[in-house]
Amino acid sequence: MKILLADDEYLVLEVLKKIIKWDELGLTLAGIATNGEDAYKQIVEKKPDIVISDIRMPLVDGLELVKKCADNPGPAPVFIIISGYKHFDYALSALKYGVKDYLLKPINASELNTVLQKAVCACREAKEARQTAHADVAPEDIRGLFLPTLLSGTLDLSDPEPVNRQYMTRFAQEGYSVVIIHTDRFSEDSSEGALEGQKNIFSEIRDQTVRNVSLCCCEVLETIRRQQVILLVNYDIRHFLQIKKQLVASLDGAIKILGRYCRPMVTFGLGSCRGFPQLGQAVQRAEQAVQDRLVRGVNHVIEVESSSEAEPCTLDGAVRKQLTAQVESLDLQSFAETVKKLFAAWSGNRPATSQPYWNLCQSIYSQFWDIAGRIGDPEMGVPDFSEIREELMGCVTPSEMCRHLLKHTSERFSSYYDVSAGGGNSAVAIVKKYITKYYAQKITLEDAGAMVYLNPVYFSILFKKETGVNFSFYLNEYRIEMSKQFLRQIKYSVTDVALKVGFSSARYYAKQFKKYVGITPTEYRNIHISDATPIP
């Protein structure tokens, strides 16, 4: 049995390697990892039976690692968690995710090997249970597990024979093709009846395609995933052109099936390879082929023959500077115009694949949120591109992709920084409302920015754009206006009035009053004293 060791402390890894009774327990070292991300990658690639992991590690911690493995198709490794005393409660919480045992640091050799002996027994029992369970499961149900496992990226592709035994598949030829049948704009109705109807239509497209390609292959597996039918075909490499011919016929059939209900928009993405170990590449090519409908159009069989280097699409310094200035000044209209020009420029280049547009989207998205994060809360960070990726996957033209990108960034940004329901910028409105209640207290530009999670420099830009005056002018003007009410009451001295409305000294108050009103506070009082009214 294979074991993976994961800990960010080199000495702990060395101790583990030294004290494990490898031969006695029948264990071999699958690998070591110093962070959770690398550990997960090795688990997927090397399929260890047992994993010993620290509960706290960089990038992905031990508990998250256990969760990720539990979510993958197929059997998960047996986990043994190690932790320090301060993480003991956290380690205990891992038990509910199927962790076999936990050990506290410093690690005792005898205790470790006892726990490992239990883990080895658990692995054997689990394997026997799976074999027994398979005996009671219909072969088609077992075969149906293969494609989801392949698509998850967790399958060992080194040799087809163990896979044939485990999944009851019949991979025997050198040629493999992955076909992704993707529909666009099929239906926005998400009711239960509509979804059932869609499933029936996808099943009809699937069955027709399987019938066609079965004429010239030895194995066909299929599954339905959201708006996609996915097929894996194994065949004699000499029959590849015949496979393609059958896919073209299947596309015509799919167009007719969809045409009964809507305007058909369907793409057959084709990725092929020679040899079972290259299946992962075939999946990637099929997925890329579906994306390439962006430049090649829908209602086609699109084949990606090799994973070629994508054309570079980076934002040059001048463009970055322009986008930065537009977002910093909250000029989203100019930002949108610049983005549209970038898309138009790439369309003029007529790229052979969709990849430059995806690179452009990701560059603009990252640039936008990097600036937005600096303007606002530093903890905001850059939202993950996966938030918008699925939405962009539904686009069938570059201009549509551009519109969706701008809609997404604008809506997310405007939800905080743009116009509120009551009119005016929501951040500015919050600060203005605060001033009406707390004008007598000390309020700095930094305080105002922090109140609405904005960098003070950019809040100042925003405030002036919204009100026409800078923040300090607005605050002083409001305080001066409020002070007029107190000046009309004879019981308050000018010094009292200055302090009541937030000025630090009577002298500075008098200077500002004359600047805004044109006369001194005393002169104002002498003019208006006869109109004085008490303030409750």
**3-state SS string over 246-298?**
HHHHHHHHHHHHHHCCCCCCEEEEEEEEECHHHHHHHHHHHHHHHHCHHHHCC
Mean residue pLDDT across the chain: 83
Domain at 155, CATH number? 3.30.70.270
- Residue 42 and residue 183 in one domain: no
The CA-atom distances, in angstroms, between 484 and each of 449, 494, 533 are 28, 11, 11
- Residue 160 and residue 97 in one domain: no
Our CA angle for 471, 465, 416, nearest 5°, is 90
Element (H, E) at 15: helix 10-19
- Predicted TM-score (pTM) of the model is 0.58
Residue 154 lies in a domain: yes
At residue 288, does pLDDT exceed 50? yes
Residue 129 lies in a domain: yes
- Say which residue, 318 or 60, is predicted with more confidence: 318
The per-residue pLDDT for range 447-477, each reduced to its tens digit, is: 888 887 677 887 888 888 888 999 999 999 9
Among 135, 160, 190, residue at a domain's last position: 135
At residue 425, does pLDDT exceed 60? no
Three-state SS for 101?
Answer: strand
Residue 328 lies in a domain: yes
Alpha helix positions (H), 72-179:
88-93, 109-135, 139-143, 146-152, 160-167
Residue 159 lies in a domain: yes
The Cβ of residue 26 has, within 10 Å, a number of other Cβ atoms equal to 10
> With contact defined as beta carbons under 8 Å apart, do 222 and 184 qualify?
no
The per-residue pLDDT for range 426-455, each reduced to its tens digit, is: 678 888 989 999 999 999 998 888 887 677
- Residue 272 and residue 336 in one domain: no
Do you know the residue count of the chain? 536
- Residue 17 and residue 100 in one domain: yes
Among 417, 437, 456, residue at a domain's last position: 417
Among 391, 417, 443, residue at a domain's last position: 417
- For 281, phi then psi, to 5°, come to -65, -35
Quick one: pLDDT band at residue 213, thresholds 50, 70, 90?
Answer: very high
- Residue 111 and residue 7 in one domain: yes
72: Cα separation from own chain's centroid = 18
- Residue 165 and residue 68 in one domain: no
pLDDT recorded at residue 40: 87
The per-residue pLDDT for range 226-259, each reduced to its tens digit, is: 778 999 999 999 999 999 999 999 999 999 999 8
Residue 310 lies in a domain: no
Residue 311 lies in a domain: no
- Residue 263 and residue 162 in one domain: yes
> With contact defined as beta carbons under 8 Å apart, do 416 and 376 qualify?
yes
- Residue 263 and residue 156 in one domain: yes
Domain at 489, CATH number? 1.10.10.60
- The string over 53-88, giving b where at least 16 C-beta atoms fall within 10 Å of a residue's C-beta and e elsewhere, is bbbbbeebbbbbbbebbeeeeeebbbbbbbbeeebe
In the chain, the number of structural domains is 4
pLDDT recorded at residue 284: 93
**Residue 243 class from Cβ within 10 Å (0-12 exposed, 13-18 middle, 19+ buried)?**
buried
At residue 312, does pLDDT exceed 70? no
The per-residue pLDDT for range 384-410, each reduced to its tens digit, is: 677 788 888 889 999 999 999 998 887
Residue 536 lies in a domain: no
Three-state SS for 103?
Answer: strand
> With contact defined as beta carbons under 8 Å apart, do 115 and 104 qualify?
no
Torsion angle, alpha carbons of 472, 474, 476, 479, to 10: -140
- Residue 300 and residue 324 in one domain: no
Residue 148 lies in a domain: yes
Question: 3-state SS of the chain: helix, strand, coil percent to 5?
Answer: 60, 10, 30
- Residue 113 and residue 157 in one domain: no
- Residue 281 and residue 154 in one domain: yes
Comparing CA positions, the residue from 368, 298, 290, 296 lying closest to residue 336 is 368
Range of the domain at 9: 2-135
- Residue 37 and residue 114 in one domain: yes
The per-residue pLDDT for range 513-532, each reduced to its tens digit, is: 999 999 999 999 988 875 54
